[in-house]
Amino acid sequence: MLLPRIRAPIQRAARAASKLLKPDTTPLEALRYFNPSTASASLTFSRNASHQAQGRANGVKQGAGKRLGAKKTGEQYVVPGNIIFRQRGTHWFPGTNCAMGRDHTIYATQPGFVKYYRDPRLHSKRQYIGVVFKRDEVLPAPPHAARKRRLGMIASPIQEPAKDALSEWEDKVDDAAAGKGKKRIEQGGVTKLALRPGYMYREANWEIGRTAEKAGIVAKKFVPGDRFLAWRKSNARKAKNLERRALSKKKR
């Protein structure tokens, strides 16, 4: 049986040649009438594939799962860099002490405990993930609340230390150093050093420089030598070395 794409042109040719052929002539007989070389040969037709056949259906990628979802539960302890949630898109947003990577992964930036929460003051529909320093803390923090210190440290009131004898003596030393300038402060035959810039108890530079003088140490006087004579001796030594090398080459 002929294919439709081949039957149609043969039928048109047969209708055009109906005056030359019999009325009951078939399309195949008409083709053999116009092309006598095919009268004794059998006509064969080939059909090529029109679809890709390489083992995959519709180009679907068969890859492993990406293990998306929560990696840390609420109130679980994390350290900086721990991944808390993997996602495609922003189903969750980074909150307090958290950050988001370029693949929307939320990770911790400070050590603490994980909290999943909403903050209507920032956005009415967004969900946030944060990290707090204490397990019993609640997010979001109340408005105008004191900010927690970073680096895992918690704010605590400063307690003034009680003044003892040493602190009182330091105050006296500072007052004396401010009034007398760069002078030593002595008490009971013991030299006391003043507090210098940089929180160091040390003497002034000019006093340190006179230590050898106060100890009675005298340095030898520097006597400059005859540099011209030293230059002539150096040149004579170099010339003698060159002469010795030339003699050794001649012997070889």
* DSSP one-letter string for 50-62: -S--SS-STT---
Of the candidates 119, 66, 110, the one whose C-alpha atom is nearest the C-alpha of residue 92 is 119
| Per-residue model confidence as pLDDT tens digits over 146-179 | 777 666 566 677 777 666 665 666 666 666 555 5
Cα–Cα distance between 98 and 104 in angstroms, integer?
Answer: 12
**Mean pLDDT of all residues belonging to the chain:** 79
The share of the chain scoring above pLDDT 90, in percent, equals: 35
Could you tell me the pLDDT band of residue 216, with boundaries at 50, 70 and 90?
A: confident
Cα–Cα distance between 239 and 22 in angstroms, integer?
Answer: 128
Which helix or strand (DSSP H or E) is residue 106 part of?
Answer: strand 106-108
Task: Count the Cβ atoms, other than its own, within 10 Å of residue 119.
Answer: 17
Could you tell me the pLDDT band of residue 4, with boundaries at 50, 70 and 90?
A: low
pLDDT the model gives residue 181: 46
Dihedral over alpha carbons 152, 97, 112, 88 (to 10 degrees): -150
Greatest mean pLDDT range, 5-19, 26-40, 85-99, 188-202: 85-99
pLDDT the model gives residue 115: 96
CATH class as words, domain 69-132: mainly beta
Could you tell me the pLDDT band of residue 2, with boundaries at 50, 70 and 90?
A: low
Statement: residue 70 has pLDDT above 90: yes
pLDDT: is 3 or 216 the higher one?
A: 216
pLDDT: is 12 or 213 the higher one?
A: 213
Could you tell me the pLDDT band of residue 88, with boundaries at 50, 70 and 90?
A: very high
- What mean pLDDT do residues 4-16 have? 71
CA atoms within 13 A on the CB side of 101: 14
Could you tell me the pLDDT band of residue 182, with boundaries at 50, 70 and 90?
A: very low
Statement: residue 186 has pLDDT above 60: no
pLDDT the model gives residue 107: 97
Q: Where are the domains of the chain?
A: 4-38, 69-132, 165-214
Statement: residue 234 has pLDDT above 70: yes
Task: Count the Cβ atoms, other than its own, within 10 Å of residue 186.
Answer: 9
- What mean pLDDT do residues 219-248 have? 90
pLDDT: is 119 or 22 the higher one?
A: 119
User: Which residue has tokens 């929460």?
Assistant: 117
Lowest mean pLDDT among 58-62, 149-153, 207-211: 149-153
pLDDT: is 188 or 228 the higher one?
A: 228
